[in-house]
Chains A and B, each alone.
Chain A
Amino acid sequence: MNQFTRAFTPEKLQEAWHVFLTEFPMGLWETLYVTILSTFFAILLGLPLGILLVTGDEKGIRPLPQALMKVINVLINFLRSVPFLILIVMVIPLTRAIIGTSIGSVASIVPLVVAAFPFVARLVESSLRELDPNIIEMAQSMGASTWQIIFRTMLPESVPSLVTNFTLAITTILGYTAMSGAMGGGGLGKIAINYGYSRYKYAVLYLAVIVLVLLVQVFQSIGTHLAARLDKRIKK
């Protein structure tokens, strides 16, 4: 406790403010681009996989061999159940192969995508399963092909739900960037750990937390607002 109060003396606060002004802009920028790029790639991989989970289902519009679906499901569950901290270490060879190094902001995108894309696939799956099966039947009755059902019916009709779920994904990934920051990545997480944990500069830690919380709020507000605006089922 004594140590804790000593961390908030005027000098310490002033020092923290200095760190805030000199290092936070870069940290914020790193956190932002790592989060956004990771989310982008996670969606790039997770969206088709999520679609596959729904369409390839036994009762889906294009059933695939159920043994294959079982394997895919087990793999997704496996990736989802490995703790992120362990996963970062596990994918180091992959990170080196793609980026050339396993240290730094850019390198942290690889484990983030590996951790997030199975999560996104499950979110997409749940969004698409919400869709009224009668709508799919309607599209089939109009002579739509499998691709037309996916791209002209399932996805457009699920846009509000997908936006809501992608918002959940981006805020979760933002939280994960702090963890990758501790494991050699960059961004606000790294600043918080470096100053707050390694050098007992709690004031810096708290400032970093405040910025992270504000970021989550911003992403969530944009997502919620966008989902509501895009949803044409709401009478206006």
Chain B
Amino acid sequence: MKRLFSLLGFLILTGFSVIQAQDVTFSGRVTDAATGEELIGANIYVEEMKNGAVTNLYGFYSYTLPKGTYHITYTYVGYSQRDTVIKLSGDLVLNIELREEPKTLQEAVVTGEKSDKNVSENKMSVVTIDVKTVKKIPLLLGEADIIKALQLMPGVQSAGDGNTLSIVRGGNVDHNLVLLDEAVVYNPSHVVGFFSVFNSDAVKDFELYKGGIPAQYGGRLASVLDIRMKDGNAKKYSVSGGIGVLSSRLTIEGPVQKDKSSFLISGRRSYFDLFFPLSSATKNAIANFGDLNAKINYKLSEKDRLYISAYTGRDRLGFSGIAGFGWGNTTTTARWNHIFNKKLFLNTSVIYSRYNYQIDFNIAKNLNFQRKNYIEDISIKQDYTYYLNPKNTIKFGFWNTHHTFLPGRVQPITSESIITAAALPKKRALSQAYYVSHEWKPVGRFEMEYGLRLSVFSNIGNGREFVYQNGQKNYFQDGSVRAGNIIDTINYSRGQFYHTAANLEPRLNMVYRLNSSSSLKASYMRMAQYLHLIQNIAASTGQEFWTPSTPAIKPQISDQVAVGYFRNFKDNSIELSVEAYYKSMKNTVELIDNADISFNEAIESQVVAGRGRAYGVEFLLRKTKGKTTGWIAYTLSRSQRKADNINHNDWYNFRYDRRHYLTTVVTHEFNSKFTLAGNFIFATGNAYTAPVGQYTLNGKVVALYSDRNALRIPAYHRLDLSLTYTPKVKKYKRFQNERNWVFSIYNVYGRKNYYTLDFRVDETTGQNAAYKTYLFRMVPSVTYNFKF
């Protein structure tokens, strides 16, 4: 580790040595001329330097070069290029507005960033899809969904048919960090996973890192999904929305003070429960979700900008007056951008995030209760970017979070209830992360970014930990791992830091450009995860919960290396990438067989520390320009787990291990009115545990199981199609009215894809049988979208 620090210091000092006394800096923000939205990833190219800069997440850029006259070009795909000549005799602030190209001139694009990004950028294992493209992809029930669109890219797989929970490069569902305006979203699903919580109308930009994750991110093993909400139109008011078969959405945005502040409010509500009264079987059922995004930003000065954004969403599922469960995320982020000078940019954020779930059970006046659980975070983070010179950019900062966990609280609903009030003690923890990274461009063809993240996780009192007999939180007996016997309890006082774990997480990304159209890239990352999702069924029902690392549950650690070859063809209109990765994981949280996680304070007794390995090759070929666009993605991969006394101590397949995963997305624009789009997906079936025998107990047949996840369900495949009809834009006196109709069919040929495979006795024959459950067969939908 000492060597690592020495190397880091040397490299940073080497970078500093190239500073020249006569250099000047031009900097500023690049925004959309129509809406004032800052453009993330816009390209600034300096002709004389044959080099340039890219705007950051807040549309800010900075470039340092010698005094002189320069030809500067600002580009952002889908927007008209702007050329300007500047004479630099001193530092200069240059804020630029770019205009969206008229639709007739605009080529359909997959990404909204620089055209040779695939080859030139020092980023690999990163997935971006333009939000406009997401809206053209045919998806379940016509609901544009950024997570489901991501699941069509290599290395990202759905946890089930129509499910928004994702498996990234063989990681668990909880190995993905999902951020909405920097706030952690602990459950990104509505309706037990069939919809994501992200309303695409409120999303400006998103990026998924499945490898090579920069040092400013951490806390999960597999991926980071960084979603940025729109700021709101700073130029004029607009209303947009969509009316779908089962849900609708509405967004209102506009200036509070023109060009100084703006707001956005976007809401969504499902209404499929309106159909429930039509059937006697469902007339008392409740199943709905809703969410609301809001954001306001204010330009305090040329150097200071304030953003406040919030999200809240809620799901309800149950039967009226009898029982039900609900869950929801709430987040709030207050951000302050400050430009110290032309080279130093600071973002400070204060973030609140809460995920709660609740179960109501009220079947009689004396048999009822309500159970609640939650995780609540309050964070403060700072991210500094120092644009030292065109060859060196330093990023550093910290992210500290106070976590509060309520594992469970039960209260009777009525005073007559026989259920006693009870609560598992709250848990508290402080997670701290400090990072520094250096983007270094030593020679024209080679770039690297290396960084180091120090993560520290402390359990804080008041709290208590159990002491187990023989120091064993669980033990192996008669073929099963069983919970250990608690022999004592250690109590910790309020505010006492009673256990701390720390990890150094090095990160590295490198690119070597072979020529203008091809490059080689490599990355390495170590990730540490201190929060773990305890879940013993695949679907989200409120029984699952997050728990912190403790003295008895070690942090999960992963190391991933990846290498890739990137090539563009035909003037960057066709992109090819091939990436290979290997990821090893340790201390993965594996539930013991027959784990009892319901209202169990001694949760550490129900898990064992496991190991994991995942490796694979990902191919992506995509066409980004022309009337026909889209991509073909193929992943060949394997993911396995191992844990003491589980599966006879042998490696076993991860449940979502899929050897082959192929996706094809094609969009063809016939003319300005009609666009046809289609997806095809083929995936190896999930691994599952099957019975190898049977026996009879008390007159009932019981299955005898052998190896874990040893068999596979048949392959999954489906075709989806959509047709978008966009009528000619009507011009009114005060505003333009844009609208379109999207007709889509999910699973066109109606394949009964296995969702699950169950084994039970056939009631008609009395013999054992296997049953598959399938969900969606040929689901048609129509959505009307509007904007004025």
Q: Do A and B come from one complex?
A: no
